[in-house]
Structure 1
Amino acid sequence: MTTTTALTEHFTLEEFTRSDKARSLSIDNAPAPAIVANLRRLAKFNELVRLELGGAAMVISSGYRCLALNRAVGGAGNSAHLDGLACDFTAPAFGTPMAICQALDKSYLQFDQLIYERVGGAVWVHLGIAVEGKAPRRQVLTIDNRGTRIGLWS
């Protein structure tokens, strides 16, 4: 399986595994087969997200992170990125990350975690799905320079 393997109609494995940080630090971010299965589930879920966003293309900025990469970028030790169950993205044709979060919060979609993240000058949406067989929490958070808070805060 190559990194350009199509997971769904609009998403490839490469989108969920590429990392400039991994490349610059010579970190192998190739996922194991179990992680690829999770990434395929995440890509299928993202197809539903795309529909909810009126078909707007999603720009994935972070997907799967192996442990070394997660540590290098300062990710949480329990990050769903480690298991291929989360991605960070924007959808410029739809609107701002806050508009995306508001739309997904009001949607029928059963995500595990939806986070409006604003760190420094960067802003993005973190979207996680539940482990297969586990009920999604549908947790909505904001993470910014004031910490982590429940709900969406601009």
Structure 2
Amino acid sequence: MFITPNFTLEEMTFSLAAAHNAIPNDPSPEAMANLRLLCGVLEEVRALIDSPIQITSGFRNETVNQLVGGVPNSAHCLGLAADMCVKTMTPRQLAECIRDSSIVFDQLILEFDSWVHLAISCDNPRRQVMTVRKGTGHLPGLQ
């Protein structure tokens, strides 16, 4: 089922950890509504970079989130965050492109120089930009 023209419910809820452990990862109606908003923003990102986006992690229910080591208050559990990569640019280039655009987001995190975490907010988006590197924790910006 397509949520938006380029993003499906299957890709936004797929979890290898959930599949391997036979854990259903179905969003609640509230999380589904948030996924629609999130996919709308992802469509903006796709248009900005003019390239398909690979979602590596979207919605996670609490059980799946714990299984993958996500933080307890993860926006993924609300359907408000996705981790992504694109084939046409590095994760750093993708993060910088989103950061420098007019796309409204709550959090943009370059994680381990391997993927980009994009979270949205239904209230007051902070446009918080961070970098996470192994052993150094959260750092401001994209240093």
Whether the TM-score (by the shorter chain) exceeds 0.5 is yes
Match of 1:142 in 2: 131
Match of 1:107 in 2: 101
Residues 5-154 of structure 1 aligned to structure 2 (within 5 Å): 5-53=1-49, 55-93=50-88, 95-118=89-112, 123-130=114-121, 132=122, 134-145=123-134, 146-153=136-143
CA shift at 1:20, angstroms? 1.0
Question: Tell me, what secondary structure is at the counterpart of 1:7?
Answer: strand
Runs of 4+ in structure 1 over 6 Å off: none
Question: Tell me, what secondary structure is at the counterpart of 1:140?
Answer: strand
TM-score, length-scaled by structure 1? 0.90
CA distance, structure 2, for counterparts of residue 78 and residue 96 of structure 1? 28
TM-score, length-scaled by structure 2? 0.96
CA distance, structure 1, for counterparts of residue 87 and residue 61 of structure 2? 27
| CA RMSD between the two structures | 0.9
Percent identical among aligned pairs is 42
**Counterpart residue identity of residue 142, structure 1:** T
**Counterpart residue identity of residue 128, structure 2:** Q
CA shift at 1:27, angstroms? 1.0
CA distance, structure 1, for counterparts of residue 79 and residue 133 of structure 2? 23
CA distance, structure 1, for counterparts of residue 35 and residue 68 of structure 2? 20
Unpaired runs of at least 5, structure 1: none
Alignment length (residue pairs): 142
CA distance, structure 1, for counterparts of residue 106 and residue 48 of structure 2? 16
CA shift at 1:144, angstroms? 1.1
Question: Tell me, what secondary structure is at the counterpart of 2:35?
Answer: helix
CA distance, structure 1, for counterparts of residue 6 and residue 124 of structure 2? 26
CA shift at 1:51, angstroms? 1.2
